Structure 1
Amino acid sequence: MDRRNFIKTSFAAAGTFSLGSIGLNAAPHKTHALSLSFDDGFKKSFYRIAEIHENYGLKACLNVIATGHLKSFNAEPKWIPQELLGDFDDWNKLNERGHEIMPHTWEHLNLTEIPVEKAKENIEKCLSYFEENLSGYNSQGAVYNFAYNASITELEDFALSKVSAVRTGGWLVLNNTMVNGFPVKELPFRLGCWGHGPGFCDDYIEQEINKFLASKGGWLILNLHGLDEEGWGPVSTIYLDTLLRRLSMIDYLTVQPTGEIVKELAKH
């Protein structure tokens, strides 16, 4: 089942379009954009995810919890055991290899379940920690990824006063496919994503990507976590490798991290 009841995004969907025509760094015939957005910061999984992406000339989209490496971290020990999480030495190494590292909250709280002012403080602490500890990071160009894909408008607006985009739960179905539509009319960006768990989500990913590829196009963001036995709704290593090999050969598809696409759209 889905991890949270997702909310409809504020994006309007277009029927047919070219990603190249709106400034995305892709050939004009690219009509589909896909982001595999991995959360939490599982050390073993994230290094392997990065390696698999590198095999096909791709950049991984990796979102980490600011305090996940601290011994005091204990949120969701069933799904995010602290001993499996990496630290900012790891994230800087992967960042240097060209992969995208973005904030996935301060301590992985559902910010809709705590007082709003406390939630805003949580967002500020997260962004400040990234600015202090991740080389080259600037919040103004970042994507803030809400824990549990749970947000409210007030918290989205607060985060969007500091970052370029937020990723939250989203539900827009175009031609029976879950997508963020183009052209995007407003900045900054509210991005909808979709996920599946708690068990392996290989079949779910395959189903949704196949529907997406058969559609007229758009931007599909799938929210994933670890590989094999790590995390909520894990992906098998073999499946991810096979999937990226196949996707890298599709001429009308671009596979990029969310921040890379946001950066290109912001130039338009």
Structure 2
Amino acid sequence: MERRRFIQASALGGLALSMASFTTIKKTHYLTLSFDDGFKKSFYRIAEIHENYGLKACLNVIATGHLKSFNTEFQWIPQNLLGDFNDWNKLKERGHEIMPHTWEHLNLTEIPIEKAKENIEKCLDYFENNLGGYTSDGAVYNFAYNASTPELEDFALTKVSAIRTGGWLVLKDSMVNAIPVKEQPLRLGCWGHGPDFCDDYVEEEINKFLATDGGWLILNLHGLDEEGWGPVHGDYLDNLLKRLVKMDNLSIQPTGEIVKQIGRN
């Protein structure tokens, strides 16, 4: 398959975007590749690929995924492929971002609201107790299935600095988040594609994004090669980042890194 070539960085040189209070950010385009679930083999490889280009990986893990009792979505998230908090602490120590992706990967919109809120609290408590250096300040709660309601979002935002959910829920007609300012509620919309390989989808959406005036595109991914729903090929991810880091007006960062930068202003 012949890949579409990315728009050259020089074509983006004249773009300008008001940064409001987001003054530490000088780029016009922000991209987050947000990897979910916690596939051990994939997440170590994703981290390694990001390190090759001086980048931090955005890794979101299920709090109970390492437990033998975990059996949600066996087809796409088999427990034997998932890492544990020894792995997540090691990757965090290497500089990568580890964020909560639910307690047991339930669609919280399909269970009673109080049970859903309890699920969020248990997840966040587990991260505080088991992930070194984790704090709610700057943390992003990543809803399973990108499924949420305004009430669940509001509840989660009393515990963390931002939530990530389906782009169709918070962005309406746009694929791209605005560059946020401190005063805005940080309801971040993401997009994904599956269940088959999504290399072509990622390529197309990033190309379209680079042709815009700017903003923040969050693409929701999972594992590499054969792991997870809508995986990407490892070689493709490597080649993708190799091309993207050459673009002057593009910044590739985890969600929490951008959230923390907002908080410092």
Q: Does 1:143 align with 2:146?
A: no
Matched, 1:48 2:29: no
Residues 1:208 and 2:198 are matched in the alignment = no
| Offset at residue 216 of structure 1 (A) | 0.4
CA deviations on 1:146-189 (whole Å, 9 max, x unpaired) are: 00000001110000000000000013377xx6100135473441
Partner of 1:76: 73
SS in 2 for 1:109: coil
For the residues of structure 1 that align with 2:111 and 2:88, how far apart are their CA atoms? 28
Deviation of the 1:84 alpha carbon: 0.1
Q: Deviations over 1:191-239 (max 9, x none)?
A: 0000000000000000000000111000000000000000000000010
**1:92 aligns to 2:92 (yes or no):** no
Could you say if the C-alpha distance between residues 210 and 24 of structure 1 is closer, same or farther in structure 2, counting changes exceeding 3 Å?
A: farther
Look up the SS of the partner of 1:231 in the other structure.
coil
**Aligned with 1:178: secondary structure?**
coil
Describe the SS at the equivalent of 1:48: helix
Within 5 Å, give how 1:41-190 maps onto structure 2.
41-171=38-168, 172=171, 178-184=175-181, 186-190=183-187
1:231 paired residue number: 228
Match of residue 243, structure 2, among 240, 246, 254: 246
User: SS state of the match for residue 192, structure 1?
Assistant: strand
Query: Offset of 1:124 from its aligned partner?
Result: 0.3
Q: Structure 1 residue 139: deviation in Å?
A: 1.8
**Equivalent position amino acid for 1:116 in 2:** I
> Does the 8 Å CA contact 1:65/1:105 hold for their aligned counterparts?
yes
Distance 2:75 2:45 in 1: 22
Listed as ranges, the gaps of 5+ residues in structure 2 are 1-14
Q: How far off is 1:247 after superposition?
A: 0.6
Aligned counterpart for 1:259 among listed residues 250, 256, 265: 256
Q: Is the 8 A contact 2:193 2:201 kept in 1?
A: yes
Compared CA separation, residues 183 and 85, structure 1 to 2 (3 A): closer
User: What amino acid is aligned across from residue 23 of structure 1 in structure 2?
Assistant: F
TM (norm. structure 2) is: 0.90
Contact 1:61 1:257 in 2 (8 A): yes
SS in structure 1 of the partner of residue 189 of structure 2: strand
Residues 24/206 of structure 1: CA separation in 2 closer, same or farther (3 Å cut): farther
Aligned residue for 2:219, secondary structure, equals strand
Tell me how far apart the structure 2 counterparts of residues 224 and 143 of structure 1 sit (CA, whole Å). Answer: 16
Task: Say whether the 8 Å CA contact 2:22–2:180 is kept in structure 1.
Answer: no
- When normalised by structure 1's length, the TM-score is 0.89
Structure 1 ranges of 4+ moved more than 6 A? none
**What number of residue pairs does the alignment pair up?**
249
1:24–1:261: 8 Å Cα contact kept in structure 2? no
Q: CA deviation at 1:140?
A: 3.0
Structure 2 CA distance for partners of 1:78 and 1:24, relative to 1, 3 Å: farther
RMSD between aligned residues: 1.6
User: By how many angstroms is 1:262 displaced?
Assistant: 0.7
Structure 1: distance between partners of 2:96 and 2:162: 18
